[in-house]
C-alpha cells in the first residue's frame, strides 16, 4: 500500500519484539492511508470492538484480547490514524475531530459488521460514539470507560473552548515532571504541544496505578520514533471541545439509540473520576437504565493496564447477561 503524500509510516522494525503483543497485523485503506487493526478470533460471529485514545494504541488491549477470544468472541482493535501502526499525517491541520470520525466511520463501513459490541475509552469514546450516532446498526452493546462526549449549549458552548485554550496557555511549557505533579488539562495540553521529545511510555505510566516494565513503556514509545511523527498526539488535547455543533447533533442521534449500555469508570482517573461523566452516559442512554454500572477500583485513566482481567471478566459476564 503506497504512502500518501505528507504522511509517515513508522518503520516495522520499531515494533519488533514487543512485549506481550503476538498478534497478526491487519491493514485497511482509509482516505488513502493505511489503518492498522487487530482481528483475533475470526471464527466467531460475536464481535467486540476495542477503541483506544490519545496517546496510546491497540497495545493497550494486549491483556484483554486473549481473554475475550478465549470466551468465544472475535475482537477487532484498530489504531487511530496518527497512532500505533497506522499511517501518520505530518501536519497537525490533518488531525481534526471530524477527520478522526470520518476515518473511523470509513473503517467500520468497510468492515461491514453490524450488531457488534464495543468498549470505548478516552478518545476512543469521543470518536466511536460519533461513529455510532451516524451508524446506529453497527453496535448492539456498548461499554463506555473513562471517556466523555461534550454536549454544550448557550454560554457553556461559548466559554468552555476559550477556557481550555487559556488553561493551556497559562500552563506554559510544562515538563513531564510538572504534569505528573499536577495532572490537569492545562499541563496535559501544554506538555503535548511543546515537549521536544514526547515520552509516551512515561505518560502512560503516570496515568496508571500498576508499575509498567521498561519494555512496556518502550512499546508505547515505538509508534513515534522522531518528532516528525507527533502531529496526532500533539493536536488532540487542543480539539477536545471542538466542533460542538456537530457533537450536539450526534448526541441527539445517540439519545435515540436504545441498546444496552454499561459504564466502567476508574476510581483514580485524575481527569474523570467523580466528575459525573459516567452519570451523564447513564442518564442520556435509555439502554443504560438498570445496568450493573461499576467503578473500577485501584485504576487510573488507563484502566486497561491496571485491571485488564477484571475488565474482561465484567465485559464477558455483562454480554452474557444481556444475551449478546
pLDDT tens sequence across 262-281: 999 999 999 999 999 999 99
Give 94's pLDDT tier (boundaries 50, 70, 90). confident
Give me the pLDDT at residue 19, please. 87
In the chain, the domains with their CATH numbers are: 7-151+245-321 (3.40.50.1820)
- Contact between residue 250 and residue 129 where contact means Cβ atoms under 8 Å apart: yes
Give the catalytic positions in this structure. 122, 269, 301
For the stretch 16-29, pLDDT in tens is: 999 899 999 999 99
What angle is formed at CA 108 by the lines to CA 105 and CA 109, rounded to 5 degrees?
A: 85
What is the tens place of the pLDDT at every residue in 177-218?
A: 999 999 999 999 999 999 999 999 999 999 999 999 999 999
C-alpha cell of residue 14:
520499531
Over the stretch 138-155, which tens digit does the pLDDT of each residue have? 999 999 999 999 998 889
Pairing type for strands 33-40 and 74-78 reads antiparallel
* Average pLDDT of span 63-82: 98
As a whole number, the mean pLDDT across the chain is 96
Amino acid at each position: 500500500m503506497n504512502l500518501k503524500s505528507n504522511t509517515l509510516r513508522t518503520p516495522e522494525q520499531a515494533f519488533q519484539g514487543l512485549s506481550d503483543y503476538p498478534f497478526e497485523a491487519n491493514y485497511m485503506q482509509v482516505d488513502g492511508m493505511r489503518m492498522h487493526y487487530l482481528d483475533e478470533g475470526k471464527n466467531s460471529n460475536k464481535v467486540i470492538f476495542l477503541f483506544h485514545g490519545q496517546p496510546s494504541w491497540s497495545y493497550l488491549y494486549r491483556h484483554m484480547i486473549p481473554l475475550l477470544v478465549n470466551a468465544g468472541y472475535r475482537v477487532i482493535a484498530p489504531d487511530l490514524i496518527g497512532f500505533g501502526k497506522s499511517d501518520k499525517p505530518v501536519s497537525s491541520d490533518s488531525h481534526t475531530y471530524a477527520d478522526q470520525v470520518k476515518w473511523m466511520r470509513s473503517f467500520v463501513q468497510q468492515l461491514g459488521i453490524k450488531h457488534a459490541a464495543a468498549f470505548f475509552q478516552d478518545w476512543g469514546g469521543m470518536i466511536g460514539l460519533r461513529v455510532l450516532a451516524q451508524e446506529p446498526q453497527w453496535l448492539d452493546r456498548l461499554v463506555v470507560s473513562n471517556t466523555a462526549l461534550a454536549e454544550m449549549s448557550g454560554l457553556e458552548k461559548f466559554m468552555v473552548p476559550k477556557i481550555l485554550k487559556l488553561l493551556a496557555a497559562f500552563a506554559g511549557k510544562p515538563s513531564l515532571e510538572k504534569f505528573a505533579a499536577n495532572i490537569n488539562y492545562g499541563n496535559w495540553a501544554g506538555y503535548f504541544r511543546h515537549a521536544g521529545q514526547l515520552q509516551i511510555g512515561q505518560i502512560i505510566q503516570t496515568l496508571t496505578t500498576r508499575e509498567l516494565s521498561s519494555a512496556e513503556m518502550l512499546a508505547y514509545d515505538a509508534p513515534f520514533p522522531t518528532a516528525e511523527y507527533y502531529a496526532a498526539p500533539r493536536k488532540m488535547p487542543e480539539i477536545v471541545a471542538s466542533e460542538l455543533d456537530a457533537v450536539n447533533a450526534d448526541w441527539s442521534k445517540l439519545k435515540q439509540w436504545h441498546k444496552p449500555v454499561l459504564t466502567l469508570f476508574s476510581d483514580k482517573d485524575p481527569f474523570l473520576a467523580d466528575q459525573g461523566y459516567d452519570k451523564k452516559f447513564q442518564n442520556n442512554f435509555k439502554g443504560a437504565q438498570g445496568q450493573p454500572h461499576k467503578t473500577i477500583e485501584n485504576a487510573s485513566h488507563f484502566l486497561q493496564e491496571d485491571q485488564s482481567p477484571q475488565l474482561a471478566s465484567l465485559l464477558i459476564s455483562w454480554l452474557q447477561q444481556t444475551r449478546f
